[in-house]
Amino acid sequence: MRTPSPLSTSAARESRDTRSGSQGSDVPIPRGRGDNIAGAAQGPVPEPESAAENPAPAPPTDTAAEARGRRTLSTAFVMLGPGGHLTVELSGGRAIILRDVVMRRKDYCGTEVLGRAEGAHFCGRYDEVVAARPGGAPA
């Protein structure tokens, strides 16, 4: 019969101490089925509620300019080809060419393809969009 090494004995003791919580750990100790949890704190049980009586709040609505810009951009966005370039004309008369465009709830983002900011990340609001089309040449 082998005698356990001092290393394995200390490791077993440390494991036992950790499980008993003697080291002041804030981590809860998992309990088995046979453990007594009668002394556990219990909060009030919430009453079930009907979704018809308490509807969820309505999502925020777009302004007319945001809705128009989102519709314009999404129409061009779905026609993107393999190149993935999207030309967006903004209300200030500026046109930008983007790739890797992502449309989000309140704005859109992409990487600029041409111009002095080539390779820069650009994010714009939908209410600034005047026109958009797939492709990479400004009008």
pLDDT in tens, 52-95: 777 777 777 878 899 999 999 889 888 876 668 899 999 988 88
Q: What is the pTM of this model?
A: 0.53
d(C-alpha 2, C-alpha 115), whole Å: 77
CA angle centred on 7, ends 6 and 9, rounded to 5°: 65
| Tokens representing residue 62 in the block | 């777009």
In the prediction, which pLDDT does 128 show? 93
Tell me the pLDDT band of 124, cut-offs 50, 70 and 90: very high
Say which CATH class 64-134 falls into: mainly beta
- Of residues 21 and 57, more confidence is placed in 57
Q: Is 127's pLDDT higher than 90?
A: yes
d(C-alpha 109, C-alpha 106), whole Å: 10
d(C-alpha 41, C-alpha 120), whole Å: 55
In the prediction, which pLDDT does 138 show? 43
Mean pLDDT score, 126-139? 80
Amino acid at 138: P
Each domain of the chain, given as residue ranges in start order, spans: 64-134
In the prediction, which pLDDT does 68 show? 92
Tell me the pLDDT band of 129, cut-offs 50, 70 and 90: very high
Q: Each residue of 39-53: pLDDT tens digit?
A: 667 788 888 777 777
* Side-chain-side CA neighbours of residue 79 (13 Å): 13
Residue where the block lists tokens 């009586």: 53
* Side-chain-side CA neighbours of residue 123 (13 Å): 6
Mean pLDDT rounded to a whole number for the chain: 76
